[in-house]
Chain A
Amino acid sequence: MFDVVVVRPILNVLLLFYRLLGRETVLAIAMVTLVLRLALTPLQLKQQTSMKRQQEMAPKMEELKKKYKDDKEKLAQEQMRIYKEAGINPLGGCLSMVIQLPLMIGLYQAIIRVLATTPLQLLALPSDLYRWIPTFSALIPLRSHFLWLDLGVPDPFYILPVLVVITAWYYQKLLTPQTSDSQSSAMNKQMTIMMPLMTGFFAATFASGLAIYFLISNLVGILQYFLFRRHYTVTPAPSAVPSALPTKRKADRITKQRPKQAKSKS
């Protein structure tokens, strides 16, 4: 089911780009990654906005935790009430990620399948092709050489994995929220190191076509961050719990006013 709905459409779009872009596998991977990331941009921004709002309210939540430290049920009810009043769906960010993840995994799988490094992998490919596009079969196997790389095998000089680690680290650093909570801060630091290393490990171990995907994906993510910065950056909220928490309309107004304030300062 996942194959039919997610992997195959992406795989065939990849082949379409391959045909349109002069049979250059790297360009095809780059284009599909770019298109998919751009298509997911509204969802990602929505997710970031939701997370940003939650982070802005984090100090208030900390105070609530202290206040109701012995009554978890009451704490949850109060948190729900505050989120409701502020117009925040605490699961909103996760739902958008739930939609994004299968697509990113689908792209990852499509690249693995279309590169087909072993004969048995290539044998599985015909069933993934859209047969109503007859020229697709004639495109197989994809050209796997680009500069010093054979896209079907790991980069022998580890240049790509290093680039992947650097870009992944920078992207992760941009995404990592500032938090006053020491435990969360330590965890975030670990993630900023572990995730790039893990991605770098994959990039060094598997086909370099996948490393290209990781690299493009990171670069697009970084570009997105700078283009839509206001959705990512968090303004620390006042530490004291206000008597009346901001409504959704108020929160929106605050968000809209921020760029103007920034301009007037400069």
Chain B
Amino acid sequence: MRIWRQLANRLVVSMDGPKPLRALAVVFVLILLVGCQGGGRHESWPGLLATDGTLYAANFERVQALNAETGRAYWSFPAEETRGVGPFYATPVLAADQGDNGILLIAGFDSTVYALALGETPAERPDELWRFTGAGGQYVGAGVVVDDLYVIGNGDGRVYALSIEDGSRVWDFTTRDRVWTVPVAVDDTLYVTSLDHRLYALDIETGDLQWQLRTQGAVATNPVYADGYLWIGDFSSTLYQIDLESREVAWSFQAEDWLWSTPLMNGNVLYFADVGGNVYALDIENRSMIWDAPVNIGDVVRGQPALSTDGGLLYVPGYETGVIRAIDTTTGQLRQTWGAVPENPGRLPGDLVMNGERLYAMPIMIPVRVRAYVPVTGDLLWAIPEAE
């Protein structure tokens, strides 16, 4: 008691006058500073493009070309780490038929699209062909190559069609909110979804609006096309099957949570997952669920799942634990868990990429930026940069 009394006495002496206000104001400012979410490096969800023998991995402030077999880095763009470039969310896109050896198109959170003319060999450093800086917002989703156009949505709410040859703007179309998804081209029409709760159908040549459809929630999943229908999910947890001929919703399904992970089509089965970690398998012919109940992996799912080569296993990236879970596609049973590193698991917000014999994942918030696994066994083939 005596100690407490002495402490109280000292406190009274120290709080005499206007000092308490000052002290508390300082504390307030300090807490504000702690609460502020600025500073440090801006993490993204990285995108990875797998081509024959070469990977193009976009993350943080650079894009790297890697040997798909060994993980050895061929080159980085920009060559040196440059402040103000990136970070990159959008997966690089290869316009294989353009230029002498193909043109790699990368879009950053720095509101810039870069076009790189690839060399004769993957190891050859590419030349920067052009850069487009005409957009007012950040690029989150990648674009789509349609003939000699690169069409990409931006955080300023516009969709830009750029000439792949010189990066000039051919047309643009304005939506009411950010466009974070990859457009889909079907015949002469381009389908774009936006956070403004709409699907837009645009003329590919001119960018003119053909028709639009309103959804209940914001759309952040890339549209998936199959047999005359588009499949999209939104933040109201609704999966839509949209008939492109009648321009109406043919069927919809209410999931448990936000739909942000892009659905994966395999034959007649559509796999999709919600942010609450529920994974669904839908038979699109008779619109019925294949599994008795959705499989809950106990994690947030944002990235697109991937399928094993034989279609027997569905690999689902868990965002918060940084773990990949394999689900038996026939029974809906959880089979394996990979990449569990309890002391520093990182996170997996990006899409998983399956390329023949390897499954690639790009964790964030840890030194390792790309991991290559052997499918089925889950053995780690390589990881870059090597964990210290």
Q: Point out residues on A near B: beta carbons under 8 Å.
A: 51, 54-55, 58, 61, 72-73, 75-77, 79-80, 83, 90-91, 93-94, 97, 101, 104-105, 108-109, 112, 118-121, 123, 126-127, 137-138, 140-141, 143, 175, 177, 179, 181, 184, 187-188, 191, 195, 198, 202, 205-206
Contacts of A90 in B (CB 8 A): 11-12, 15-16
Q: Point out residues on B near A: beta carbons under 8 Å.
A: 6, 8-13, 15-22, 24-25, 27-29, 31-32, 35-38, 42-45, 89, 109, 140, 177-178, 180, 195, 197, 216-218, 220, 235-237, 257-258, 260, 275-276, 300, 302, 319, 349
With beta carbons under 8 angstroms apart, the residue of B24, B45, B195 that contacts A120 is: B45
Q: A79-B13, A93-B20 are in contact. Are A121 and B37 (CB under 8 A)?
A: yes
Contacts of A72 in B (CB 8 A): 10, 13
CA distance A83 to B11 in the complex (A): 13
Closest CB-CB distance, A200 to chain B, in whole Å? Answer: 13
Q: Flag if A61 contacts B16 (CB, 8 Å).
A: yes
Q: Flag if A101 contacts B17 (CB, 8 Å).
A: no
Q: Flag if B12 contacts A101 (CB, 8 Å).
A: no
Q: Flag if B218 contacts A123 (CB, 8 Å).
A: no
User: Does more than half of chain A's interface fall in helix, strand or loop, or is it mixed?
Assistant: helix
With beta carbons under 8 angstroms apart, the residue of B29, B36, B275 that contacts A206 is: B36
CA distance A76 to B89 in the complex (A): 61
Q: Flag if A77 contacts B9 (CB, 8 Å).
A: yes
Q: Flag if A195 contacts B235 (CB, 8 Å).
A: no
A77 — nearest CB in chain B belongs to which residue? B9
Contacts of B38 in A (CB 8 A): 205-206
Q: Flag if A179 contacts B216 (CB, 8 Å).
A: no
CA distance A119 to B46 in the complex (A): 12
CA distance A137 to B216 in the complex (A): 9
CA distance A45 to B237 in the complex (A): 46
Contacts of A138 in B (CB 8 A): 197, 216-217, 235-236
CA distance A79 to B13 in the complex (A): 8
CA distance A178 to B236 in the complex (A): 55
Q: Flag if B177 contacts A76 (CB, 8 Å).
A: no
A131 — nearest CB in chain B belongs to which residue? B257
